[in-house]
Amino acid sequence: MNGELPATSTVSRLAIHGGEPTITRPGPHFRWPVISDDTRRAVLRQLDEAVSLYDRSGVVARLEQRLETALGVPHALLFNSGTSALFALFAGAALGPGDEVLVPDYSFFASSSPLFFTGATPVLVDCDGSGNMDPEKARELITQRTRAVLVTHMWGVPCDMDAFTGLCRDRGLRLFEDISHSFGATWKGRPVGTFGTAAALSLQAQKILPGGEGGVLLTGDDELFHRALALGHYTKRCLQEIPEGHLLHSYGVTGLGLKLRIHPLAAAIAEQQLDTVPAVLAGRRRCARRILQELRAIPGIDLPPIAEQAEPSWYGLFFSLDRDLVQRGLVADVLAALRAEGCCEIDHPKITSPVHRYPLFRDPGRVHPGYGTLPERDFPVAEAFSARSFKLPVWHEEADDPLVGQYLEAIRKVMNHFMRGGDGA
Ligand SMILES: Cc1ncc(COP(=O)(O)O)c(C=O)c1O
pLDDT given at position 1: 46
Ligand 1 site, residue 83, Cβ cutoff 6 A: yes
Distance 43 CA to ligand 1 centre (A): 23
Distance 17 CA to ligand 1 centre (A): 38
Q: How confident is the model at residue 7 (pLDDT cuts 50, 70, 90)?
A: low
CATH class as words, domain 37-272: alpha beta
pLDDT given at position 372: 78
pLDDT given at position 251: 98
- The closest residue, in CA terms, to atom 3 on ligand 1 is 111
Distance 243 CA to ligand 1 centre (A): 31
Q: How confident is the model at residue 374 (pLDDT cuts 50, 70, 90)?
A: confident
Per residue in 39-84, pLDDT tens? Answer: 999 999 999 999 999 999 999 999 999 999 999 999 999 999 999 9
Instruction: Provide the CATH topology of domain 277-419.
Output: Aspartate Aminotransferase, domain 1 (3.90.1150)
pLDDT given at position 4: 66
Mean pLDDT confidence for 276-294 = 98
Per residue in 72-123, pLDDT tens? Answer: 999 999 999 999 999 999 999 999 999 999 999 999 999 999 999 999 999 9
User: Which ligand 1 atom is at minimum distance from the Cα of 81?
Assistant: 10
The answer, yes or no, to whether residue 5 has pLDDT greater than 80, is no
Ligand 1 site, residue 158, Cβ cutoff 6 A: no
Per residue in 235-278, pLDDT tens? Answer: 999 999 999 999 999 999 999 999 999 999 999 999 999 999 99
Residues carrying CATH 3.90.1150.10, the chain: 277-419
- The closest residue, in CA terms, to atom 10 on ligand 1 is 82
Q: What is the pTM of this model?
A: 0.96
Vertex 265: Cα angle to 262 and 266 (nearest 5): 55
Q: Which of 112, 159, 180, 206 to mutate to test the pocket of ligand 1 (most atoms within 8 A of CB)?
A: 180
The answer, yes or no, to whether residue 335 has pLDDT greater than 50, is yes
Residue 238, burial from CB neighbour count under 10 angstroms (0-12, 13-18, 19+)? buried
> Could you tell me which residues come within 8 angstroms of residue 231 by beta carbon, excluding any fewer than 6 positions away?
87, 88, 91, 92, 255, 256, 258, 260
Q: Are 214 and 235 in contact (CB under 8 A)?
A: no
User: Which ligand 1 atom is at minimum distance from the Cα of 111?
Assistant: 3
Identify the CA nearest to 340 among candidates 2, 7, 20: 20
pLDDT given at position 11: 63
Residues carrying CATH 3.40.640.10, the chain: 37-272
**How far apart, in whole angstroms, are the C-alpha atoms of residue 148 and residue 35?**
38
The answer, yes or no, to whether residue 376 has pLDDT greater than 80, is yes
Distance 179 CA to ligand 1 centre (A): 9
Cα dist. 147→122, 123, 221, 276 in Å? 11, 11, 16, 37
Distance 216 CA to ligand 1 centre (A): 11
Mean pLDDT confidence for 2-9 = 58
